[in-house]
Every structure is written in structure tokens, then in C-alpha cells.
Amino acid sequence: MSGNWRRGCEAALLLVGMVYFSANAAAQTGGAASRPAASTTTNKTVGRDNSPTNPENSLELIKPADLKEENAFSDFQRISSEDPKKKIEKGKAFLERYPLSHFKAQVYSALTSAYLQANQVDKMVETGEKTLALDPKDVQVLAMLGQTLPRLITASTPEPEKQLDKAEQYAKRAIEGTPALIKPDGVSNDQFEKDKNQTLAIAHSGLGLVNFHRGDYAAAIAELEQSVKLAPRSDPANYYVLGVANHNISHFSEAAAAFSKCAEFQGSLQATCKDGAEKDKAAAQTNSPK
């Protein structure tokens, strides 16, 4: 891939990728909803390991309940994920007041999404890693970090391979852990599957971008195709990188198709993707057998 293609891809991901991903993350953190406009419920359907084999859950059953703490946590949960500023304020206040709370991991998890929505990416990464220190099986946070870290890498990133290795491990752990999640009470089977698919789509997107940065375009294409299959309307950046990866190995028809899908989304990538689709359609015709 030429330097211009790489720089353009990095810039595009920094501009648009976080916006679409944070909306999807917010929907899941809000509860059973899979779209930002509907994310008003309070139960988290994907993320925390709620199985009886999780030692944290056993500890929570033993610890006596504190009514004030439970009420404060319920108040925090009721804050819509569409209001990340308020979510962050209340979450920080809760942790300051109850630093040893057994709800701490869940608050950190919700704050991870809120920080990403608020474009406070450094805080998002820091809080996400705090979440995983308390709950290593939080697949939503694993997927979030797996996708976010490679989207932050540019030509000036120090030791980018370390970031890629970390992102790869996070994404793989999310993919391994998501199928084993237990459906919470009160959530339909259909909604639970949609939420799991969204988390898997985010994780596969992260792996795709890791491979893209490493120049393994075939592997990147395989992961990104899996991502858009699981969540076809979630993130134009996935189609954009899919288009660039196909272009780089001269799969011009596939590149044009991916760019065309990307161009269906309104936003900062739309014009770039329309241009890419037109150029790769022309390249496919020029290079087709006569």
C-alpha cells in the first residue's frame, strides 16, 4: 500500500471510527437495546460474566448489601447512555464515595463506554483496563479495547507493535468469551443474540485492523468480512478498511463493493468512499480479461 493510502486510512479511522463504535457500545451498555435511540434500559446484557463459576459473583452473594450503595448504583444505571457527560459525572462520584464497592467493575465498564462516547479516548483506555483488572471476562470492554487501540495507531505511535499485540489479545478474548455468556433474565433470546453479534462484530473489526496494520491484507479482509456480516449497518470504517485492503491486493471489484457500502453512510467518509468506489470500478473493468 502506498504511503498516501496508509495515511489516508489512518486519518479516516481517527475521524469517523470512534463515532460509530461509541454509539454501538453505548447501546449495549445501556442494556438490551441494540441502537442508540433505544438504549434506555438498565440491565447490561453483554459484558460481565454473570455465571455462577465467576468467583466475583460468589463474593457478591456473600457480601452484605448496603442499601445506600445499592440505591446509588441503581441511580447510576438509570442514567441514559446517550448522556455520557452525566454518566461520567455520576460514575466518578459513585467510585469516590464507594471505592470498595462490589459494583466497581460494572461502573468502570459503563464508564469505559461513556468515555468513548465523549471522545475521551485516553480515559476510555485507562478505565477499560481497570475494568479488566477487576473482571477479565467483560467481553464488551475486551472488544472495545480490541477495536479502539489499533484505530489510534498512526505513523508517529511509539512501539505500535506492542499496541497491536495487546489489541489482538483483547479481541481474541472477546471472541472466545462471548459465546459462553449466559442470558440475563428479562432479555429475549433474539435481543441477546443481536447484542452478542454486535460485540463479536466489534472484536472481529479490531482483529481486521490489527492485520491491516501488519500488512496481512488477506487476514484483514477475512476478519472485516466477518464483522460486517454480523453487523452490516454498524460502522462505515469497517467497509472503508475492507475496501482499502482489497484494493491493495488488486481485488478491485471487491474493493468497489466495499467502498460502495461505505458510501451509503452519511459522514466524513462518504465522499472518500464514493471516489474509491468509482476508481475501483474503473480499475476492475480495465483489468478484466478481454
Q: Grid coordinates standing for 150? A: 489499533
**Number of domains observed in the structure of the chain:** 1
Give the pLDDT confidence of 214-239 residue by residue, as tens digits. 999 999 999 999 999 999 988 999 99
Between 204 and 59, residue with greater pLDDT:
204
Cα–Cα distance, 99 to 70 (Å, whole number)? 14
Binned at pLDDT 50, 70 and 90, residue 10 comes out as low
One DSSP character per residue, 151-172 reads: HT--TT-SSHHHHHHHHHHHHH
Vertex 4: Cα angle to 238 and 258 (nearest 5): 25
Name the residue range of residue 241's domain.
Answer: 3-287
Percent of the chain with pLDDT over 90: 72
- Provide the CATH number for the domain around residue 104: 1.25.40.10
Q: Would you say 149 and 163 are in contact if contact means Cβ atoms under 8 Å apart?
A: yes
Rounded to whole angstroms, what are the CA distances from 265 to 38, 57, 271? 20, 41, 10
- Give the pLDDT confidence of 138-163 residue by residue, as tens digits: 999 999 999 999 999 988 999 999 99
In terms of phi and psi (left: phi > 0; alpha: psi -120 to 50; beta: otherwise), the region of 215 is: left
CA 184 to chain centre: 21
| DSSP-assigned letters across all residues of 197-212 | HHHHHHHHHHHHHHHH
pLDDT digits (tens, 9 = 90+) for 54-113: 544 444 443 555 899 999 999 999 999 899 999 999 999 999 999 999 999 999 999 999
Residues 6+ apart with CB under 8 A from 37: none
Check: CB of residue 74 under 8 Å from CB of residue 55.
no
Question: What is the reported pLDDT for 8?
Answer: 53
Separate counts of helices (H) and strands (E) for the chain? 14, 0
Grade residue 290 by pLDDT with cuts at 50, 70 and 90: low
Return the minimum-mean-pLDDT range out of 210-214, 232-236, 261-265. Answer: 232-236
Torsion from C-alpha of 207, 211, 214, 219, nearest 10 degrees: 160
Question: What local confidence, expressed as pLDDT, does residue 287 receive?
Answer: 82
Between residues 29 and 220, the one the model is more confident about: 220
Q: Cα–Cα distance between 182 and 125 in angstroms, integer?
A: 26
